[in-house]
Amino acid sequence: MKIITVSYRLPLSIKKTKGKAKITQSAGGLATAVLSYSAKSNVNLTWVGVADFDKATWDENKDNYDRNFDIEPVFLEKQLNRKFYNVFSNSVLWALFHYFPSFVEYTDEGFEAYKRANEIVAEKINSIYEPGDVIWIHDYHFLGLPKLLREYQPNAKIGYFLHIPFPNFEIFRILPNKAKKYILEGILGSNVAGFHTWDNTIHFTECIEKILGIPHKNFLFSQESHRTKAGSFPISIDFDKFHDAYDKENVVALRNEIKGLYGDKKIIFSVDRLDYTKGITNRLKAFEKFLEKYPEWSEKVVFLLVLVPSREEIKKYGERKKLIELNVGRINGNMGNYKWTPIVYQYQPVNFDKLIALYTSADVALISPVRDGMNLVAKEYVASRKDLRGGLILSSMAGAAKELKEAITINPFDAEMIAEKLYYTLNMGEEEQERRLERMQRYLKKHDVFRWAEKFLTEIETIYQHDTKASDMKGDAQTILS
C-alpha cells in the first residue's frame, strides 16, 4: 500500500542555466508541510505533480536529489500548462476563493485547459494506482480530480484537501454554472474533503446544498457509490524542527549578525510570497501611520520586509510588486533620513537558517493577510521563539488566527488599529511575551503537521471502512431476501 500525494508543484524544481541543472526545494506551505510529514513518518509515498522541467532533464537528474519518496512528474505541454496554472487556477480560482472577485479574469479557454490538465493527471495516477492505495489530492489546481479518479477506480480511497479558503456562497456563485458544477461534483468524488477551518467547511456544504441540491447529515454527503465527509483539518508545521533550530550554530551566528547590524533598534519582521492576498500594501501603510502617530519611535525601529518572488508571469502580481515598491520608496523617503532607513526590503528567497535567524531576531512579527487559508509563517514564528521573546501580530482573516488565540489580532484593512497594536506589541513586557508564546507553543507542539496528516489520513480510512461494511451488509441483506 502506498500514499499517492498529488499537488500542482512537485516538492522539487529543476532549473537549467548554461546546461547546468540546479535542483531546489519548492516554496510554500503545502510542499513544506507534506515534506515534513514524509521525512518523519515511514509511509510509502509517491508524489505526482506537474514538472517545471522537461523529460530529458528529469532522466538526467532524478537520482541527484536525496529523498525518501518516489516522484512521478507529469509533463504538460507549455501552452496547456500556462492556461491551466496562470489563466484558470491563479487568475480565476485563487482570486475568487480569496475574495478578490474584481481580479477574476474568467475565460472558457482557461476552464477547458483546467479540465484537460485534470484529466491528464487523472490518467497518470490511474496508471500507477494499485488497490489499497490512498490518493491524497491537494489544492485548488485539482478540484476535478476526485471525481475523475472515482470514475476510474470506484473503490479507491480518495482524500481531497484545499489549502486555500473555500469562499461563501455569494462569492462562489459568481463562477459560471458549468464551472460551479464541475468543482462541487469534482470534490464530491472524494471520501473526505478537508478544509483549514469550520467556516470554510460550512461554506462548502452550503454551496453543495444550494447549487447541487444535495443535503448533508453531520457534514456527510451520501451518494450512490460512496459518501463524502467534509471536515476541518487545520494544517500545521513541524514544531520541533522550528523550535530546535534556535540553537543551530549557523542560526546563532546569523542572529548575532542581524542583531549587531541594528543595535538597539527594535525589529519588525514579515516574510511572504509576493501576493496581493498577503496584505503587504496595507501593512506598509499601517507602518507609515505608526511612524506618524508615534514619532518617538522614529530611528528606534526597523521593518525588515522579505518578499519571496511568486507567480511573476501574472499581471496582477507584477502590478502589486510595483505598488509595494512605490510605497517602500515613498515611506523611506518621507520618514527616513541619511542615518536611518525605516523599511529594509528584500525581494529574494531566504534559506531555512536565515529564516529562523530573522524570526528569532524580530521583536514583532507583523502578519497581515487580507485573506489566507492558514498562514504557516505565523505558526513558524511562534515555534521558533525558544527564548520566549517577541510578539505576534496576526490578521484575523488568516486561518491561523482561529488557533493562535494569544496573538495580537488585527483587521488588516484598519491602518489605525494596526498602528496602535504595533505600538502595544513593541512596548509589551517580557512576562506578557512569555505568557502568550508559551500558550501558543503548547498548542502547536500538540497540533503539529504530523497530527494534521494522521488525522486526515485516518478519517479517509474511517469513512472508507464504514462504507465498505455498510455495502457488505446491504449485499448480505439482499442475498437473504432473494
Q: Give the footprint of ligand F6P on this chain (CB under 6 A).
A: 9, 28-31, 139, 163-164, 273, 310-311, 373
311: partner contacted, choices ligand F6P, ligand ADP, none (Cβ within 5-8 A by kind): ligand F6P
343: partner contacted, choices ligand ADP, ligand F6P, none (Cβ within 5-8 A by kind): none
336: partner contacted, choices ligand F6P, ligand ADP, none (Cβ within 5-8 A by kind): none
Size of the site for ligand ADP (CB under 6 A): 15
29 near ligand ADP (CB under 6 A): yes
240 near ligand ADP (CB under 6 A): no
Smallest separation (angstroms) from ligand F6P to the CB of 12: 13
350: partner contacted, choices ligand ADP, ligand F6P, none (Cβ within 5-8 A by kind): ligand ADP
Task: Work out which of 3, 4, 5, 32 binds ligand ADP, going by CB under 6 A.
Answer: 32
Task: Work out which of 350, 388, 417, 428 binds ligand ADP, going by CB under 6 A.
Answer: 350
Closer to ligand ADP by Cβ: residue 291 or 383: 383
Task: Take residue 131 and report the three cell numbers written for it.
Answer: 488497490
Closer to ligand ADP by Cβ: residue 184 or 355: 355
Task: Work out which of 273, 289, 371, 421 binds ligand ADP, going by CB under 6 A.
Answer: 273
Task: Work out which of 16, 40, 212, 349 binds ligand ADP, going by CB under 6 A.
Answer: 349
23 near ligand ADP (CB under 6 A): no
Closer to ligand ADP by Cβ: residue 80 or 350: 350
**Residues between 370 and 389 that touch ligand ADP (CB under 6 A):** 374-377, 380
344: partner contacted, choices ligand ADP, ligand F6P, none (Cβ within 5-8 A by kind): none
- Which residues of this protein are in contact with ligand ADP, per CB under 6 A? 27-29, 32, 271, 273, 308, 349-350, 355, 374-377, 380
